[in-house]
Amino acid sequence: MHDQDDYRPPSRSQLKRDATERQKLGQRLAELGEEALRKADMPNDLRDELLFYKSLTKNEARRRQMQLIGKMMRDIDLGDIREFIGGLDEAHRIGTRAFHAVEHLRDRLVDGDDSAVDEVYERYPEIDGQHFRQLVRNARNEKAKGKAPKASRALFRMLREQEN
């Protein structure tokens, strides 16, 4: 029988897993831009050390600075930082998904799928129809002749602008 008052300290393996997680979070924070770091909910001294890390060029100095950042992260609640990074990752996934959707629509247009033309008019009623049709026609001609996809790129840009 165990008393409920028995306290077991974390195992060495758990401590190593926690340290590895802090190190990965610190590295992920260090990869963020300065604007994103300023928006993150974290202690100012940690933010300052992360900004200083970005200014370092020597590998050994960066390694030591990252160790200091990991040490500082031992004393703070990582929940807010995990949530912030999770939000950034989700926004990136959504942006990537939207990018691929527009890319797929452009490919369908260039490949001659006329139902995609109707889909574009439904999704983007304010699109410049004449310019759009001209880009589609030019992109199809470029593909047929094996030319550089200049009109295809312009068509992609047009569709991306409509998304935003």
Per residue in 132-161, pLDDT (tens digit) is 999 999 999 999 998 888 999 999 999 998
Same domain, 71 and 120: no
Nearest to 88 by CA among 29, 138, 9, 150: 29
Q: What does the pLDDT read at residue 4?
A: 62
Tokens of 151: 């009109």
- Domain range for 48 is 12-76
Tokens of 24: 């990965």
CATH code for the domain of 148: 1.10.60.30
Residue 6's region, left for phi above 0, alpha for psi from -120 to 50, else beta, is beta
Same domain, 116 and 148: yes
3 located within any domain: no
83 located within any domain: no
Per residue in 8-50, pLDDT (tens digit) is 888 999 988 888 888 888 888 888 888 888 888 888 999 999 9
4 located within any domain: no
53 located within any domain: yes
- Tell which of 76, 107, 126 closes a domain: 76
Same domain, 99 and 159: yes
Q: How many domains does the chain have?
A: 2
143 located within any domain: yes
Is residue 1 predicted with pLDDT exceeding 80? no
Same domain, 64 and 119: no
Long-range CB pairs of 43-50, under 8 A, 24+ apart, other chains included: 43/72, 43/76, 45/72, 46/72, 46/73, 46/76, 50/26
Residue 68 makes CB contacts below 8 A (sequence gap 6+) with 49
52 located within any domain: yes
